[in-house]
């Protein structure tokens, strides 16, 4: 989501006449986009801002700004932490950035812009010309209020963008060569639940879909030029029969879902206020795997949530095997000010959090290797991204299930096209294959 927001701001600034600098050093304007999900992310942003502001001694006209969740969370306090910061702009005010930069150019300092929780941004969702894959925000904010999470405080209340606006945005992207879109939202399948997104004169769904999110998937997959549609993040309550039917029957919808589980223990899930049990979560996974045997699930997990016992951690471990996760992001619990769980003692030691983190990462490597080995001999449809990062003689791309596939290209292979690759070798995070 932050990558997408940065891109939108960059595009707005370009439209206002600014140009990308070749390096950070050369830039006369630097804006740090920040994340508040964990304390470490905030510390990193503060450290970076400190270093950037120190360069103002030699370059007094250099403009340094802060955007994103931290600006929204800290407000005026951010200028006490970073006194030389020129501006800080909260989550739904990105459209104001070009005018804020102008005000700084005219001599103003320490400008703060925060948004209200239910503000609807009026800035267009600008995109840069970044190739064949694009992020598209469809849902802002979050109403769920999981006990540990700062997102609802900093990103505001849930708001779904009108379907017509989203389709128009994706159509324009496709005309510029975009072939893959990833729809973004915190609980993305909640799309259209809090505010209407379709209007009376919109055509009825050809597939008979009634839920707004399934209708949106149908409409996006029908946009000429779009070859792949992904979305993130999911919540098990959104894995309805209709969604499973949409994902398995519509063309271009990838058989992949990022479905954060956070924990495999019912007691911890309840304390986290996630709104599902282990059994409900696994039921959602089974529905997807049954309808689409090639389905790939990825997840987020928090280790060391307050009071998490060794036995409860082991429940998370076993759930991760049962759910057959293709990949997982593991987070060490970090208390966030003002969230319900911050009132609980952060009683799992850092050393223990690190150990649990490593155990899950090792498990994931082993599981990734085993799952990927099952794909040896199969043919994967790969959206070609370009040269492999590790070996420029090879190219890489992503499978439908979002796995990185490395192969040797022929001169005819083009970036942004889908090619069939037979898998010959597997690693935990990567598949190696040859063009068919
Ligand atoms: N909306 C998504 C998650 C957004 S935050 C969802 O509900 O799944 C991204 C991830 O950060 C979360 O899935 C969680 O694993 C992690 N996270 C959020 N708050 C955290 C905290 N206080 N400490 C550690 N990890 C956290
Ligand atoms: Fe945070 Fe929960 Fe909302 Fe995800 S669903 S953003 S974890 S409150």
Ligand 2 atom with the smallest distance to the CA of 187 is 5
Grouping H, G, I as helix, E, B as strand and the rest as coil, residue 4 is helix
Q: CA 73, CA 220: separation in Å to the nearest integer?
A: 34
Instruction: Tell me if 133-373 shares its fold with 379-435.
Output: no
Nearest protein Cα to ligand 1, atom 8: 260
Taking the centre of ligand 2 as the mean of its atom positions, its distance from the CA of residue 260, in whole angstroms, is 10
Q: Is 149 close to ligand 2, i.e. is its CB under 6 Å away?
A: yes
Ligand 1 atom with the smallest distance to the CA of 336 is 22
Nearest protein Cα to ligand 1, atom 1: 186
Burial tier of 386 (Cβ tally within 10 Å: 0-12, 13-18, 19+)? middle
pLDDT at 198: 93
Confirm if 30 and 13 have CB atoms less than 8 A apart.
no
Residues in the chain with pLDDT values less than 70: none
CATH number of 379-435: 2.40.50
Beginning with the edge strand found earlier in the chain, give each strand of the sheet holding 180-184 in spatial order. Answer: 133-137, 180-184, 228-232
Taking the centre of ligand 1 as the mean of its atom positions, its distance from the CA of residue 149, in whole angstroms, is 6
Q: CA 283, CA 277: separation in Å to the nearest integer?
A: 10
H or E element, residue 209: none
pTM recorded for the entire structure: 0.96
How far, CA to CA in Å, does 385 sit from each of 4, 75, 171, 294, 295?
A: 18, 40, 21, 22, 21
Q: Is 299 close to ligand 2, i.e. is its CB under 6 Å away?
A: no
Taking the centre of ligand 1 as the mean of its atom positions, its distance from the CA of residue 10, in whole angstroms, is 26
Q: Which residues line ligand 1 (CB under 6 A)?
A: 37-38, 148-149, 151, 186-187, 233, 260, 262, 300, 302, 331, 333-334, 336
How would DSSP label each residue in 63-88? EEEEEEHHHHHHTTHHHHHSTT--EE
Nearest protein Cα to ligand 2, atom 5: 144
Nearest protein Cα to ligand 1, atom 17: 37
Q: CA 307, CA 262: separation in Å to the nearest integer?
A: 14
Q: Is 187 close to ligand 2, i.e. is its CB under 6 Å away?
A: yes
Please report, for the chain, the start and end positions of each structural domain, with discontinuous segments joined by +. 2-113, 133-373, 379-435
* CA dihedral of residues 89, 90, 93, 98 (deg, nearest 10): 20
pLDDT at 340: 97
Mutate to test the pocket of ligand 1, among 2, 151, 238, 260 (most ligand atoms within 8 A of CB): 260
State which fold the 133-373 domain adopts: pyruvate-formate lyase- activating enzyme (3.80.30)
Mutate to test the pocket of ligand 2, among 139, 157, 186 (most ligand atoms within 8 A of CB): 186
Taking the centre of ligand 1 as the mean of its atom positions, its distance from the CA of residue 262, in whole angstroms, is 8
pLDDT at 393: 87
For domain 2-113, the CATH architecture is 3-Layer(aba) Sandwich (3.40)
Say which ligand is closest to the CA of 348: 1
Q: Is 146 close to ligand 2, i.e. is its CB under 6 Å away?
A: yes
Q: Which candidate, 276, 235, 228, 237, places its Cα nearest to that of 257?
A: 235
Ligand 2 atom with the smallest distance to the CA of 150 is 1
Q: Which candidate, 411, 431, 412, places its Cα nearest to that of 421?
A: 431
Integer-rounded Cα radius of gyration of the chain: 22
How would DSSP label each residue in 165-189? HHHHHHHHHHHTT--EEEEE-TTGG
Taking the centre of ligand 1 as the mean of its atom positions, its distance from the CA of residue 89, in whole angstroms, is 22
Ligand 1 atom with the smallest distance to the CA of 148 is 22
155: phi then psi, degrees, rounded to nearest 5: -105, 0
pLDDT at 122: 75
């Amino acid at each position: 989501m932050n990558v997408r927001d940065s891109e939108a701001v960059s595009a707005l600034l370009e439209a206002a006449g600014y140009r990308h600098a070749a390096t950070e050093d050369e830039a006369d304007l630097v804006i740090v986009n920040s994340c508040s999900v964990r304390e470490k992310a905030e510390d990193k942003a503060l450290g970076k801002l400190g270093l950037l502001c120190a360069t103002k001694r030699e370059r007094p006209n250099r403009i340094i700004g802060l955007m994103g969740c931290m600006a929204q969370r800290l407000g005026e306090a951010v200028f006490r932490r970073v006194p030389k910061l020129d501006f800080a702009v909260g989550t739904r005010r990105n459209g104001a950035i070009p005018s804020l930069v102008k005000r700084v150019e005219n001599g103003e300092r320490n400008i703060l812009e925060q948004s209200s929780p239910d503000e609807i941004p009026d800035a267009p969702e600008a995109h840069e010309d970044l190739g064949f894959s694009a992020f598209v925000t469809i849902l802002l904010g979050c109403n769920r209020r999981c006990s540990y999470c700062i997102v609802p405080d900093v990103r505001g209340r849930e708001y779904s963008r009108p379907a017509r606006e989203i389709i128009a945005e994706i159509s324009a992207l496709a005309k510029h060569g975009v072939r893959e879109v990833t729809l973004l939202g915190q609980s993305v399948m909640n799309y259209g639940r809090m505010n209407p997104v379709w209007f009376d004169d919109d055509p009825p769904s050809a597939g008979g879909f009634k839920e707004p999110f399934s209708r949106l998937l149908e409409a996006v997959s029908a946009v000429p030029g779009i070859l792949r549609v992904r979305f993130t993040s999911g919540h098990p309550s959104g894995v309805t029969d209709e969604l499973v039917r949409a994902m398995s029957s519509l063309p271009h919808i990838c058989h992949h879902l990022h479905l954060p589980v956070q924990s495999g223990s019912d007691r911890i899930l309840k304390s986290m206020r996630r709104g599902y049990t282990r059994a409900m979560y696994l039921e959602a996974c089974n529905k997807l795997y049954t309808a689409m045997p090639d389905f790939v699930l990825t997840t987020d997990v928090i280790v060391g949530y307050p009071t998490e016992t060794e036995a409860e951690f082991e429940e998370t471990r076993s759930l991760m095997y049962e759910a057959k996760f293709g990949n997982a992001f593991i987070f060490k619990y970090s208390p966030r000010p003002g969230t319900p769980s911050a009132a609980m003692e952060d009683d799992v030691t850092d050393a223990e959090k690190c150990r649990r983190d490593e155990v899950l990462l090792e498990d994931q490597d082993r599981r990734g290797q085993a799952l990927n080995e099952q794909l040896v001999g199969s043919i994967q449809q790969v959206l070609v991204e370009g040269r492999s990062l590790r070996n420029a003689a090879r190219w890489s791309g992503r499978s439908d299930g979002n796995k990185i596939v490395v192969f040797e290209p022929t001169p005819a292979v083009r970036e942004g096209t889908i090619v069939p690759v037979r898998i010959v070798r597997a690693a935990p995070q990567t598949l190696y294959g040859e063009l068919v």
